[in-house]
Structure 1
Amino acid sequence: MGGAVLRTTTHVRPLTPSDLTELHALLDRDPLVNLFVRNRVDATKLQTRWLGGQVWGYFEDDVLVSACHAGANVVPVQATPAAIEAFAERAVADNIRPSSIVGPRDAVLPMWKLLEPHWGPARSPRIDQPFLVLERDSRLRPDPRVRPVVLDEFDTVYPACVAMFTEEVGVDPEVGNRSGYRARVAQLISQGWSFAIIEDGEVLFKAEVGAAAPYACQLQGVYVRPDLRGRGIAAPALAAVVEQVRATVSPIVTLYVNDHNTAARRAYERVGFRHTTTFASILL
């Protein structure tokens, strides 16, 4: 006689503060790649009123196997093929409309294939984004002009933030939610996460820490004023950001970049960043 076939039971549900220990263990399986979600979880403790969305958990026999941040950004975490399918079904059923799907390419692209009939076409699919890591200070001489931005300089820095966001994302962040974007820029400055070269009231270079945990952080918004590009400003300035961030925020610095942005990739390589995995972003 044959033995009974044991079937795995699966389900997806929103995670709550009681799931934090299990979720932290899941995030810690790849802490650098999962940094954005770890930052959101640490900041909100999965309290819905602060999260601005949900974090879904995919369970097999009541064990948390995968997760997915479902807010303005959909971000899969350690997502298995079965979890990707379950998260896509949940996203369609809940009728959420994020601005992007972001994360490891081997999870984002299969998820997008399932969601594209419902959410497509993508405004900007970015399917090859090297994820870069630097665990030490750069060997480049840091630009001594780089320093943390202070809140009194908000009006000086804010136009550069808008310009960079518009250039990179393809939409004006002031359209639709101007106060929200202004608040986010002010928050980064207040946290000591905004760095710039400012001369004669003009921003020549700037970059921010977009997410951080005690062990690592992620840079975003790297910008050189257009008329100064091609002059070798970015790499020494980034070396200074890395040095200051490692001293004041977290010891490991990460970021991801579009594969076609060869100038930026050269600058990151000069600073010492190494390519460890590949992300993808589907901008909707």
Structure 2
Amino acid sequence: MLSRVAPWLASRNETAPDGLTVRILEGADTAQLRALALEDPVANVFILSQLGSHGSASPTAAGARIFGVFDGGALLGACWAGANLVPVQLDPGLAPYIAQAVHRAGRRYASIFGPAEPVLALHAALEPHGHLAHEVRAEQPLMTISGEPDIPANPHLGFGDMADFELILPACAAMFEEEVGYSPFLGGEDFYSRRVAGLIRQGHSLVHIDGGRVLFKAELGAVTPDVSQVQGVWLNPAIRGQGLSAGYMAAVVKLAQTFAPITSLYVNHYNLRARASYERVGFQQLGTFATVLY
């Protein structure tokens, strides 16, 4: 069937010449979406965490939607479309279907992230519609660990507290700017500030504060009963080069394991220092992600 998928310009509830359809998922599609995502619970931790939070595949109050490609009543693949695009078990051959649907939705997206093949296929399919990338990170090892870290954990890392919000927020912003090249406060501070505060309140902010400054921080950006995904790893520049990052990451694993047995993350392939640190802790590569920044 996939060999017959042409670059058909899909829209909501239209039927392609080969019988496939694309539409926005509704509450009744929740079980199918969850079953699809559970085919790879590590790669799909983002969408599974969203389903855990919202309880439904229907559009969220904030306006995020999930587009699905169907063959009759069977869900073949899907894509979260909120501030970012996140493919879910999407065969690269189905990317043109999703690309046309999300383009017709009339939104701009900050990024696409997830397994490399569908991410890069979506990027290629969106480009002719004027969605031009600022940067393409085509190879990001997806790494996981379960069980005890291979090295001792730094005992000073703990869960963030709202009392320290004014210290944690600038550290998060510094990490973001280092990572993507621009401030998360462009267009206003409200959205990013609410995001950071939400992570703290959920117990998903991990931080070491000493002497009124953040020395290290990370977040659990997505959490399910099976997997947590670490994001936003940042070491204060004042203490870099001292071999501290691996001990902090071992502590991240220990704290993340209070939520789920598997801890995952993805990292740019060219960041050899970070990759070596993660491997020292015991992380092993499971797959490859990609991120397209707009």
Q: TM-score normalized by structure 1? A: 0.94
CA contact (8 A) 1:40 1:51 kept: no
Distance 2:246 2:67 in 1: 39
Contact 2:223 2:229 in 1 (8 A): yes
Note the residue ranges of structure 1 that are not aligned, 5 or more in a row: 1-6
* 2:271 aligned with 1:261: yes
**Distance of 1:193 and 1:110 partners within structure 2:** 32
Instruction: Find the partner of 2:31 among 6, 14, 21.
Output: 21
- The 1:99–1:130 alpha-carbon spacing in structure 2 relative to 1, beyond 3 Å, is same
Contact 1:54 1:70 in 2 (8 A): yes
Shift of 1:137: 2.1
Distance 1:242 1:265 in 2: 15
Partner of 1:3: none
Say which SS state the counterpart of residue 50 (structure 1) adopts.
Answer: coil
Match for residue 251 of structure 1? 261
Q: Deviations over 1:145-173 (max 9, x none)?
A: 11111110111111101100111122211
Separation (CA, whole Å) in 2 of partners of 1:212 and 1:177: 27
Deviation of the 1:122 alpha carbon: 1.1
> 1:117 deviation in Å?
2.3
Residues matched between the structures, number: 277
Report what 1:4 is aligned to. Answer: none
Asked if 2 retains the 8 angstrom alpha-carbon contact of 1:151 and 1:190, the reply is yes
Alignment match of 1:197 (pick from 208, 224, 249): 208
Structure 1 counterpart of 2:228, one-letter code: C
**TM-score, scaled to structure 2:** 0.91
Pair 1:187-2:193 in alignment = no
Counterpart CA distance in 2 for 1:259 and 1:158 is 27
CA distance in 1, matches of 2:234, 2:114: 22
Using the aligned pairs only, state the percent identity: 39
Match of 1:128 in 2: 139
Q: Which amino acid aligns with 2:113?
A: V
Q: C-alpha displacement at 1:41, in angstroms?
A: 2.2
The match for 2:149 is 138
One-letter amino acid of the structure 2 residue matched with residue 32 of structure 1: V
Q: Does 1:75 align with 2:86?
A: yes
Please tell me whether residue 277 in structure 1 is matched to residue 284 in structure 2: no
Quote the residue 1:89 is aligned against.
Answer: 100
Determine the structure 1 residue equivalent to 2:185.
Answer: 174
In 2, are the aligned partners of 1:10 and 1:60 still within 8 Å (CA)? Answer: yes
Deviations 1:158-196 (A, max 9, x none): 110110011112221111141111111111111111111
Partner of 1:37: 47
Partners of 1:72 and 1:98 within 8 A in 2:
yes
Between stretches 149-158 and 48-57, larger displacement belongs to 48-57
Helix, strand or coil: the match of 2:203? coil
Q: Deviations over 1:213-238 (max 9, x none)?
A: 11111000100011211111110011
CA distance in 2 between counterparts of 1:277 and 1:24 reads 21
Deviations 1:45-101 (A, max 9, x none): 234243532101100122111011011111111112342120012122222211001
Distance 1:52 1:242 in 2: 33
The Cα shift of 1:36 comes to: 0.7
How far does the alpha carbon of each residue in 1:118-165 deviate from its partner, in whole angstroms, 9 at most, with x for none?
234311111110001111120201111111111101111111011001
Q: Is the contact between residue 9 and residue 61 of structure 1 (CA under 8 Å) also seen in structure 2? A: yes
Tell me the residue number matched to 2:11.
Answer: none
Aligned-residue Cα RMSD (Å) equals 1.4
Structure 2 distance, partners of 1:100, 1:230, is 31
Q: Distance in 2 between matches of 1:211 and 1:21?
A: 20
Unaligned runs of 5+ in 2: 1-16
**Aligned residue number for residue 237 of structure 2:** 226
Any runs of at least 4 consecutive aligned residues in structure 1 with deviations exceeding 3 A, and if so which? none
Residue 55 of structure 1: aligned partner: 66
The CA distance in 2 between the partners of 1:220 and 1:117, in whole Å, is: 31
Distance 2:260 2:25 in 1: 27
Contact 1:137 1:246 in 2 (8 A): no
